[in-house]
Amino acid sequence: MMTASMSTVQSSAQSRQFPKFDLYRLLHTVFQPTFGRRICILIDLPDLAEAKGMAFLGNPARAIQRRAHDHFFQGLHGGVMEELALKGGEMFAYVQTGGSNLDLPDLCVDMDGRELSLEKDVYPNYDIILAITTFSATAPLTAFAKQYGFRGATLHGVNEVILNSGLAVDYEEVSRDAEKLRLAMTRADSVEIDFGLEDGSVLTAKLELGGQEAQKSHGLCRGTTPDVANLPAGEVYFVPTGAEGHFPMKYEDGTLGKLTVTGGRIIRSELIAGSQAVIDAHNARLQDDPMTGVLGELGFGTQVLPVSGSDIQDEKVLGTCHLATGRDDHLGGHITPDQFKRRQNATHDDILFAPHKTPNFDIRQVRMTRGAQKEILIEHFQPSKYLQDALAAD
């Protein structure tokens, strides 16, 4: 269902020249001031024995952890710490959680294999913590940042495309653009999304936003206020106050389902194409723990970036939007892990709508209502004139 208008942002991203990844520039821009701050890196591993002597470097399956070592750990110790007057530079590993934004274990190890405690030995003793992991740690790390007073960044799923585009951009510019689009959407009462399916039918979901202030993920995490940036950044987002209607979902195996939402929660999935067993498993999960279906986020990308194959970057692309189910306490919402039947269900899972990821359906139109004002935000994965004019404004 790809159309010419869908590819406009992607074409711009492919032709865009990005600067080379520069750890000094990234850390200086995101975290200033840095003088005298202690910094460390967290990675996640299936088996902590791989941390001893950095044995994970010899495992081809640990590409993310290797990038954490090659581009961040070695970068810090190759002169960046001295240039930014940082201290520390240690790397620690904890056992992979197995899901997006699940609570982190307390046990960790250093690169000599010594067992330590994140809450006793890491969080209180560092000012800046970089989590370069397989599974997102944004929600739990944000909670710990507020508790222990550090700043940080989560960079899960980092790959070469992200390093050379989403992490190589000027975050001063990213922040300015995110603020322009935030102002264009803030205090919206509701947003409606029309999804066009291949058979010509249209599904519509309406997200109630209650006139709330829109928030932004803009990459800057400065000063002394405890906070965690999600990198790559570039997003405007809301915590829905309610939702009704239907929207399509593409499951990991390619199965397509029609999701019914009422009272702000997905209540069932129906098969469009693919495996009925996948649909049945989702419905069983929704029935067993209804909190897994609660919509906790509506987000809009604000950057012109190439597709990376990792949602952490691809959801930041201008013209895309995403919903998320599960915990939203790190976004200012009230859905916390203790509200789920099982804490291992308390993930925050993004559902990204983008031409490369969901080619079986189109975002026909996204409409915003703000009082008497009604604006089109997106059509066919292309930002509307309203958003383009907002970006062009001084």
Q: What are the domain boundaries of the chain?
A: 21-163, 171-392
Which amino acid makes up residue 122?
V
Token pair listed for 71: 């581009």
Strands (E), 115-184: 115-117, 128-131, 151-154
CA angle centred on 391, ends 157 and 360, rounded to 5°: 50
Please name every residue paired with 95 in a beta bridge, in sequence order, or none if there are none.
45
pLDDT for the residue numbered 16? 78
Torsion angle, alpha carbons of 6, 8, 13, 17, to 10:
170
Q: What is the DSSP letter of 103?
A: P
Low-confidence ranges of the chain (pLDDT < 70): 1-8, 10-11, 13-15
pLDDT for the residue numbered 204? 98
Rg over CA atoms, the chain: 21
- CA distance between the termini of the chain: 36
Please name every residue paired with 389 in a beta bridge, in sequence order, or none if there are none.
none
pLDDT for the residue numbered 218? 97
Token pair listed for 375: 């604006």
User: Which region holds residue 70: left if phi is over 0, alpha if psi is between -120 and 50, else beta?
Assistant: alpha
Under a CB-based contact definition with an 8 Å cutoff, are residues 376 and 300 in contact? no
Pairing relationship of beta strands 128-131 and 151-154 according to DSSP bridges? parallel
pLDDT for the residue numbered 6? 42
Under a CB-based contact definition with an 8 Å cutoff, are residues 38 and 128 in contact? yes
CB under 8 A, 24+ apart: contacts of 330-334: 330/101, 330/138, 330/139, 330/142, 330/143, 330/228, 331/215, 331/237, 331/239, 331/296, 331/297, 332/215, 332/239, 333/239, 333/296, 333/297
CA distance 301 to 392: 16
Closest by CA position to 100, among listed 310, 306, 348: 348
Strands (E), the chain: 38-45, 87-95, 107-110, 115-117, 128-131, 151-154, 190-197, 202-208, 215-217, 227-230, 235-238, 242-250, 256-262, 265-273, 295-301, 321-326, 348-353, 361-370, 373-379, 382-383
Closest by CA position to 241, among listed 288, 206, 270: 206
Please name every residue paired with 268 in a beta bridge, in sequence order, or none if there are none.
260
- The upper half-sphere exposure of residue 273, i.e. CA atoms within 13 Å in the direction of its Cβ, equals 8
| Residue length of the chain | 394
Give helix 23-31 / helix 171-185 axis angle, nearest 10°: 40
